[in-house]
A and B are shown apart, each in its own frame.
Chain A
């Protein structure tokens, strides 16, 4: 028990005052009587008349002293320390990654973490500030408040698990940003199982850190990968099953083709061992699913889904006098079909045809630029629409902007170009590659009225560019930029944005989630007639996604992509790669349960008793 106001102990002098009053002659009220003859005989009177009198045992005195004692105790504000209150600023990171759905703790790790965080919120002091950060694949601040617990509790209430892996580094950056200028008064508490994306070296934060480990066991076996590959007699689904636990697991891998059980294999997996299993995929099957039974503490990675159907083919029309390098580079994408024709065969109607997903003009510019189909112009002749002038020697090629994704893995250092179209006066688009002679590569994204397009000014025949590895990489990047695949690579990770290109003429694009609900991703309007590349970032739900593209001129096309949670170890990590300043994050001032109302109540009862006793006695 602590005393919140020890100085109130000075009130204890009141006890001495009460006793002194009993020593002192009492202040008396005057009463007239006929005669004091008989009163003078009263022995007690003679004692009372003395200025000081010997104190006599008295119930009244005892009760008054007791009452005063309890009043003094109430003033001292005795309190029991029931918990530690949080003061200052507290940043709480709650791991809501996929592994937090493990059920080795009841009901699962995330629920335990939320409960722990809720208890922390309840300990929030009156002027303390708290920021809650959800640490999933994309960490985000879910609530921040100064003293308002309800806001924080609501944030915790709406926190949902994600399917990806926790990004500790970004979560810590958010925490540092949330701390702002008050890092000295900030503490960081992380509720996590410690399974995060790899961090190269320990991250240092300028405040104390407490890592509250959630989870006790990592006994888990899961499907780490599932792919459909061509086999000698049709497609084969190949799954890799890994036992991450420390005990031997006896499992059965079941394979479903379009929700129909088509095969099963028994597996005996020793600790930390894996085994590949393969199943023939029935012809015509769209999807395959592999499930492991029985389930364990982490059911999320015991199901894997893969797309068996071939994706729709993207048709690219190459209008060129003949350039094998360019044609081969375009054909590197697995989902494309390249069709060539000469410039003389070009029909203006092809510029708005939905037959092609991408038009590539090599040394040729059509009289009218395509109105709806994305296009790439390589080595253009002088053209006013493109802003291309006569040929010039560009000199060394340089990236216009560092870290441009179009130039990822594109090494321009050893590329020499003897001639390039003069694009110095072009306003076609943003510059991606430049040179001493001006821009070399310009791109422009799709707009509401125009498709995406790019112009590569280099005349390929007068350059060693086609001989460099940078060439096919750049062409593939440009191809994917201008005409992304309708269905991305089938093995998507949870939380990864998916780029969907519905193609020319699409009017409606909908995505059906694994849980069955739909989301309209894009709808054609007068203002946005061209869909271009659409980004779908709702891949937080593992399973099979269906993308439906409605094109008026043809039947709707459905394509699929799968989002799988790759099997992984779920053993809680004993520590995090975080280094904070010295000291514990949580010890703070105490939350007290006040006892003074009880003391005051007892004092009141004693005073009432004293009143009763006084009137009974007198």
Chain B
């Protein structure tokens, strides 16, 4: 006899209360014990995510049947091509009407559908941990949402945290029931340390080929990121970049004579923060964004900036759709 637990989904998930708005902000999220709650993923949000998918720009070359068009011929209903019959071919795919007209045996080939692996690379460095509410938690919540999106789309999903090295990983996993394991891993990645892009480069081949989503603040010279992009390309991954920034980074509220200390390198910068300095700061931020976007474009990657202070539902169902990181 089966019973339905109001707090448990059919997939065995324990999301946060559905009547509470999902938000990445710590003051509105009420963390619970379940991995979904710890990431701020509510049942409403997960239901909405089930209607979405992560698009890919090219045919995949997976190993397991899935929903994505594969570069191999398969058994879907979509006719893909014809070829001459060869002994041993499945005679159920012979085109009899063509044989009647042409007197030659021609095989009908159908498009294949395979899955892909969504590799979620989450930056856990000190700069991301600087603001738990508007950087660290939103980044992991976005990764959790994408992981669920992948699993709900019959894709595989894997996640890894990195800073100076890979601090943890989970997957690849398949099927929605595996989502809590990924969420738990995402929630448990330790934070801190400097960002080591080289560690990411080294770890890329360790995950299956698929779609790589790097979630970070990307507070580095774009040229430092180039090896990451190149490694992803070499690995045959599609690349998506999600840049999570806190409001303090987008709109600094500091003022006066300050010595600013970098949270990772401990390097300091003396500044006199006034109107002019803030204007220069915003100019530098925008320039950095443009350079990062250009670099991403050159590698066929998608860059999606995210304001970490926005509600998670707005980020996932709004910003990600607009940026084509997800599609309906």
Show the binding face of A for B, using Cβ within 8 Å: 25-45, 48-49, 617-618
Contact of A31 among B128, B254, B275, B287 (CB under 8 A): B254
Asked if B257 and A41 sit within 8 Å, CB to CB, the answer is no
Contacts of B268 in A (CB 8 A): 30, 36
Contacts of A38 in B (CB 8 A): 219, 249, 281, 284-285, 288
Asked if B280 and A29 sit within 8 Å, CB to CB, the answer is no
Asked if B220 and A29 sit within 8 Å, CB to CB, the answer is no
Closest to A43 in B: B280
Q: Which segment, of B166-174, B233-241, B258-266, B309-317, faces chain A?
A: B258-266
Q: Smallest CB–CB gap between A612 and chain B, Å?
A: 15
B102 at the interface (CB under 8 A from A): no
| Given A33-B130, A37-B288, A617-B275, A42 contacting B261 (CB threshold 8 A) | no
Q: Smallest CB–CB gap between B45 and chain A, Å?
A: 27
| Given A25-B270, A40-B269, A617-B275, A32 contacting B281 (CB threshold 8 A) | no
Asked if A37 and B219 sit within 8 Å, CB to CB, the answer is yes
Asked if A34 and B259 sit within 8 Å, CB to CB, the answer is no
Contacts of B259 in A (CB 8 A): 28-31
Asked if A618 and B274 sit within 8 Å, CB to CB, the answer is yes
B271 at the interface (CB under 8 A from A): yes
Closest to A49 in B: B270
Contacts of B277 in A (CB 8 A): 42, 44-45
Show the binding face of B for A, using Cβ within 8 Å: 126-128, 130-131, 135, 217, 219-221, 246, 248-249, 254-265, 267-277, 280-281, 283-285, 287-288
Contacts of A617 in B (CB 8 A): 274-275
- In the complex, A30 Cα to B280 Cα: how many Å? 20
Asked if B283 and A34 sit within 8 Å, CB to CB, the answer is no
Contacts of A28 in B (CB 8 A): 256-259, 270-271
Q: Smallest CB–CB gap between A595 and chain B, Å?
A: 36
Contact of B270 among A34, A41, A43, A45 (CB under 8 A): A45
- In the complex, A182 Cα to B273 Cα: how many Å? 71
Asked if B280 and A26 sit within 8 Å, CB to CB, the answer is no
Contacts of B217 in A (CB 8 A): 34-35
Q: Smallest CB–CB gap between B232 and chain A, Å?
A: 22
Q: Smallest CB–CB gap between B88 and chain A, Å?
A: 61
Asked if A31 and B283 sit within 8 Å, CB to CB, the answer is no
| Given A33-B260, A35-B264, A45 contacting B272 (CB threshold 8 A) | yes
| Given A26-B257, A29-B256, A34-B135, A41 contacting B280 (CB threshold 8 A) | yes
Closest to A30 in B: B259
**Most B C-beta atoms less than 10 A away, residue of A25, A33, A36, A617:** A33
Contacts of B269 in A (CB 8 A): 36, 39-40, 45, 49
Asked if B284 and A42 sit within 8 Å, CB to CB, the answer is yes
- In the complex, A617 Cα to B274 Cα: how many Å? 7
Asked if B284 and A35 sit within 8 Å, CB to CB, the answer is no
Asked if A48 and B262 sit within 8 Å, CB to CB, the answer is no
Contacts of A39 in B (CB 8 A): 260, 269, 271, 281, 284
Extra 9 A-B pairs, beta carbons < 8 Å, given A30-B268, A35-B219, A38-B288: A28-B271, A29-B257, A34-B248, A34-B264, A35-B217, A35-B264, A36-B268, A44-B276, A45-B277
- In the complex, A45 Cα to B268 Cα: how many Å? 11
- In the complex, A49 Cα to B263 Cα: how many Å? 20
- In the complex, A33 Cα to B271 Cα: how many Å? 12
Nearest 7 A-B pairs (CB), nearest first? A41-B284, A35-B219, A618-B255, A34-B127, A26-B257, A38-B284, A34-B130
Contacts of A618 in B (CB 8 A): 255-256, 273-274
Contacts of A31 in B (CB 8 A): 254, 258-261
Asked if A34 and B246 sit within 8 Å, CB to CB, the answer is yes
Q: Smallest CB–CB gap between A104 and chain B, Å?
A: 76
Closest to B129 in A: A34
Chain A's interface: helix, strand, loop or mixed, by majority?
mixed
Contacts of A41 in B (CB 8 A): 280-281, 283-284, 287
Closest to B254 in A: A31
- In the complex, A456 Cα to B273 Cα: how many Å? 119
Closest to A40 in B: B269
Contacts of B254 in A (CB 8 A): 31
- In the complex, A423 Cα to B328 Cα: how many Å? 157
Asked if B219 and A42 sit within 8 Å, CB to CB, the answer is no
Contact of A36 among B262, B273, B280 (CB under 8 A): B262
Q: Smallest CB–CB gap between A74 and chain B, Å?
A: 29
**Most A C-beta atoms less than 10 A away, residue of B217, B264, B275, B277:** B277
- In the complex, A34 Cα to B129 Cα: how many Å? 8
| Given A32-B130, A37-B220, A45 contacting B261 (CB threshold 8 A) | no
Asked if B280 and A42 sit within 8 Å, CB to CB, the answer is yes
Asked if A36 and B267 sit within 8 Å, CB to CB, the answer is yes
- In the complex, A27 Cα to B277 Cα: how many Å? 17
Contact of A42 among B131, B246, B249, B271 (CB under 8 A): B271
- In the complex, A30 Cα to B259 Cα: how many Å? 5
Closest to A32 in B: B261
- In the complex, A193 Cα to B199 Cα: how many Å? 113
Contacts of A32 in B (CB 8 A): 130, 260-263
- In the complex, A32 Cα to B129 Cα: how many Å? 12
- In the complex, A40 Cα to B265 Cα: how many Å? 13
Contacts of B271 in A (CB 8 A): 28, 39, 42, 44-45, 48
Contacts of A29 in B (CB 8 A): 256-259
- In the complex, A33 Cα to B257 Cα: how many Å? 14
- In the complex, A29 Cα to B273 Cα: how many Å? 12
Contacts of B276 in A (CB 8 A): 44
Identify 27 residue pairs between A and B in the complex whose beta-carbon atoms are under 8 Å apart, listed by A's number: A29-B259, A30-B258, A30-B260, A30-B268, A31-B258, A31-B260, A32-B260, A32-B263, A33-B130, A33-B263, A34-B130, A34-B131, A34-B217, A34-B262, A35-B262, A35-B264, A36-B268, A37-B220, A37-B284, A38-B249, A38-B288, A39-B284, A44-B272, A44-B277, A45-B270, A617-B275, A618-B255
- In the complex, A272 Cα to B62 Cα: how many Å? 146
- In the complex, A37 Cα to B220 Cα: how many Å? 7
Closest to A37 in B: B219
Q: Smallest CB–CB gap between B274 and chain A, Å?
A: 6
Q: Smallest CB–CB gap between A212 and chain B, Å?
A: 67
Closest to A26 in B: B257
Contacts of B262 in A (CB 8 A): 32-36
Contacts of A26 in B (CB 8 A): 257, 272
Contacts of A30 in B (CB 8 A): 258-261, 268
Contacts of A44 in B (CB 8 A): 271-272, 274, 276-277, 280
| Given A41-B281, A44-B272, A45-B272, A36 contacting B288 (CB threshold 8 A) | no
- In the complex, A40 Cα to B220 Cα: how many Å? 12
Q: Smallest CB–CB gap between B285 and chain A, Å?
A: 5
Closest to A31 in B: B258
Contacts of A48 in B (CB 8 A): 257, 270-272
Q: Smallest CB–CB gap between B124 and chain A, Å?
A: 13
Contacts of B284 in A (CB 8 A): 37-42
- In the complex, A198 Cα to B13 Cα: how many Å? 129
Closest to B135 in A: A34
- In the complex, A28 Cα to B275 Cα: how many Å? 17
Q: Smallest CB–CB gap between B193 and chain A, Å?
A: 13
Q: Smallest CB–CB gap between B17 and chain A, Å?
A: 31
Closest to B286 in A: A38
Contacts of B131 in A (CB 8 A): 34
Closest to B287 in A: A41
